[in-house]
Amino acid sequence: MIGAANGRLQRVSLRARVTLLAAFCVAGAVAVVSLGAYMTVSQNLHDQMDENLRQRAQAAVNAPKVNNDVTEIPGAFLAAGDIRIGVLDVSGQILYPKGTIAPPTQPADLDVARGSRLENIWTDLRTDFRVIAVPYGDGQAMLIAQSTKPLNVTLGKLSVVLFVISGMGVLVAAVAGTAVARTGLRPVQRLTEATERVAMTGDLRPIPVSGDDELALLSQRFNAMLGAVAESQERQRRLVADAGHELRTPLTSMRTNLELLLASERPDAPTLSDEDKAEINADVRAQLDELTTLIGDLVELAREDAPQVVHEPVDLVEVVERALDRAKRRASDVDFVVEVQPWSLLGDSSALERAVLNLLDNAVKFSPTGGVVRLSLKQLGDGSAVVEVADSGPGIADADLPHVFERFYRSSEARTLPGSGLGLAIVKQVAERHGGLAYVGRAPEGGAMFTLRLPGRPTPHP
């Protein structure tokens, strides 16, 4: 039973809950106000009735006595039209006008007659009369009783009016709550529809935003999220398209060479010379190396696209030295000139090492035999440092400068050289992941100079 009740509560829409909340709040407020108004009016009416009874009782006490056929009676007996009046003695006997009904009494009225009490005012619930007893001479008390039915009728009418007004207030609150919920939750409904649209169709168009409240801010953040997802999808599509294009060339070349080798093995086919076979084998191995490099770069690029959650303290000097050692093992026909200053930052040491190594490999590739590659790590004094790699090659044409960091971009001079066209793109992404920049210019020696600018702080001396 409890589980079923919880299920029904969970199925109540937010709009219905807002409407019910508004109705309940207004109902509570109206109930408190109505109850307070009713109690205040009731108390005031009862106080007025009691005061009126006191005044009439005092007037009856002060009224002169008149003679009837037997004895003297209070003159107030002759003016008792809307009340019951009588005189109570200490023996319990009560004198009242002929043709009328005696007022109700209670034992406390005898205390007034004896003089031990100055007043006794009470309500007889059996007859709905309000009774007051005041002293009237020796051993007597004047009793005056007035019906409370007119007062009760007035209070009943007031309670009906307050009940009707309360009901109308609750109804108006429910209608207003529904209107407010419908208007206020319209942006949430648009967000829900947009979410369902994205889930069903993959459509990442932003939703319209109106206003400047919290829901409008939520819609703006949702649109920003859609924009980020759309940009990510577009990057993935470009990466897949470019990778497919770059993979097609070495695969086609390998297929051609392998088909040629297989065809030469047929009995009726012309045989290939040892020199041709060696050339084909060398070409296949080169294509395999190119594929291996390309796949490795694609994996590295995909890893860099993933968000970096954990960063660790990195000594950039150690990163540069490790990348330099690897570059020296790959290139023994160039000289390296190195100048480093201490620098540290929070980041991914492996990614930074890969970026510096890519810059060094690129400089080696374009430097002539016996050329010089200059590597420097310098502090700029503004909270950042730069890793500069300059080669002694021909430099980069002005038309190619804006595109060197694009994925798979290769200048006309570089198309004949080995490489995947992804190394500099990886450098740029590593720099951006660490809050830095990557840019290119001309070296004083005439070649190209690539710069990796990174934030951090100088490494303290041990």
Domain containing 253 — which CATH number? 1.10.287
- Please report whether residue 131 resides in a domain: no
* Same domain (yes/no): 346, 250: no
* Same domain (yes/no): 449, 337: yes
Query: Residue 152 is encoded by which pair of tokens?
Result: 């009760």
pTM of the model: 0.46
* Same domain (yes/no): 335, 258: no
Return per-residue pLDDT of the chain as tens, 462 residues: 444 445 444 566 777 777 788 778 888 888 888 899 999 999 999 999 999 999 888 888 888 877 666 566 676 676 667 788 888 999 889 988 887 888 999 999 999 999 899 999 999 989 899 999 999 888 899 899 999 999 999 999 999 998 898 888 888 888 887 887 777 677 777 777 777 877 787 777 777 777 677 777 877 887 888 888 887 777 677 666 666 655 666 677 778 877 777 777 777 767 777 777 777 787 777 777 667 766 766 666 665 555 554 578 999 999 999 989 888 887 778 889 999 999 999 988 888 988 898 899 888 888 888 888 999 999 998 889 999 999 888 888 777 777 787 766 655 555 445 555 677 888 888 888 888 999 898 888 778 899 999 998 987 755
Q: How far is the C-alpha of 257 from the C-alpha of 279, rounded, in Å?
A: 10
* Same domain (yes/no): 349, 432: yes
* Same domain (yes/no): 396, 436: yes
- Please report whether residue 393 resides in a domain: yes
Q: Which residue has the tokens 């390309």?
A: 294
Spell out where 380-423 has E strands. Answer: 384-390
* Same domain (yes/no): 282, 328: no
Spell out where 24-139 has E strands. Answer: 65-67, 72-74, 84-89, 94-95, 120-124, 129-135
* Same domain (yes/no): 447, 409: yes
- Please report whether residue 103 resides in a domain: no
What is the total count of domains within the chain? 2
* Same domain (yes/no): 258, 363: no
User: 252 is in which domain, residue-wise?
Assistant: 214-298
* Same domain (yes/no): 350, 238: no
* Same domain (yes/no): 450, 314: yes
* Same domain (yes/no): 287, 321: no
Contact yes or no for 42/155 (Cβ under 8 A)? yes
Pick the last residue of a domain from 298, 321, 346: 298
* Same domain (yes/no): 391, 341: yes
- Please report whether residue 427 resides in a domain: yes
